[in-house]
Amino acid sequence: MAEMTWEKPLASTAAKPKASALKLERLKFLIGGALLLGAVVYLVLSGTMTGARFFITVDDLVNNPAYVGQTVRITGVVLGDSIAYDARTGELQFTIAHLPNTDGDLGMALHLAAKDPNATRLNIYMADETMPDLLQHEAQAILTGALGEDGVFYANELLLKCPSRFQEMQPSDLAEAGA
């Protein structure tokens, strides 16, 4: 098939540029490239400084006073009974429990953490929030915010994963009703 072109007329391709002119152009490219690279590195560094959040557990946060007032990202398991939402004001409060780091079955880890009476707990407060659909018992919460002097974590961003997304579901009671 005929190939179409994306082109402007070729300008002065016949005349070969001199070596010195080429060198000068190459220098321009190098300087331009270095400037651009410098700008990108600066952007990334300054962006990283302002946007960086430590991603820590509830235990890390509660046991280290240095984190009070500092914007951090935390993860924990939601305790369903604690969820209180006032639709009129948008105030959302709930409690999360410490979720240990795990590389294994996260669904099981969430289940055990929610059941553990000794797990460190942390009260969460969010202002002007729409009640998230996925906020339920044993959901994993990832929150961005800061721990206040009063021991409450004031969050402004909430990401949730519901436990069903981690668990390999089993059809329970099949055996009793089995063929």
Residues 139 to 168 in contact with other proteins, rule: CB under 8 A? 142, 144, 157, 159-162, 164-168
Binding residue (CB under 8 A) for other proteins from 20, 81, 150, 175: 175
The residues, ordered by sequence, that sit 6+ positions from 143 with a Cβ below 8 Å of its Cβ are: 73, 74, 75, 76, 96, 124, 153, 155, 157, 158, 159
92: helix, coil or strand? strand
User: Is 134 an interacting residue with respect to other proteins (CB under 8 A)?
Assistant: yes
Options 76-84, 117-125, 134-142, 146-154: segment touching other proteins (CB under 8 A): 134-142
Binding residue (CB under 8 A) for other proteins from 34, 35, 38, 52: 52
- Going by their DSSP bridges, the two strands 152-161 and 121-126 should be labelled as parallel
168: helix, coil or strand? coil
User: Is 133 an interacting residue with respect to other proteins (CB under 8 A)?
Assistant: yes
Taking CB under 8 A as the rule, which mask of x and - marks residues 109-128 in contact with other proteins? -------------------x
What count of other Cβ atoms lies within 10 Å of the Cβ of residue 142? 15
The least distance separating other proteins from the CB of residue 114, rounded to whole angstroms, comes to 17
Q: Which residue has the tokens 């969820």?
A: 83
User: Is 17 an interacting residue with respect to other proteins (CB under 8 A)?
Assistant: yes
Question: Which residues 76-105 are close enough to bind other proteins by CB under 8 A?
Answer: 85-90, 105
Q: Give whichever of 55 and 68 is closer to other proteins, judged by the CB atom.
A: 55
User: Is 171 an interacting residue with respect to other proteins (CB under 8 A)?
Assistant: yes
The site that binds other proteins (CB under 8 A) totals a number of residues, namely 76
Write the DSSP assignment of 105-135 as a string of letters.
-HHHHHHHHHH-TTS-EEEEEESS----TT-
User: Is 131 an interacting residue with respect to other proteins (CB under 8 A)?
Assistant: yes
User: Is 179 an interacting residue with respect to other proteins (CB under 8 A)?
Assistant: yes
Binding residue (CB under 8 A) for other proteins from 48, 81, 117, 118: 48
Pick from 107, 103, 90, 116: nearest CA to 161: 107
Pick from 172, 165, 118: nearest CA to 138: 165
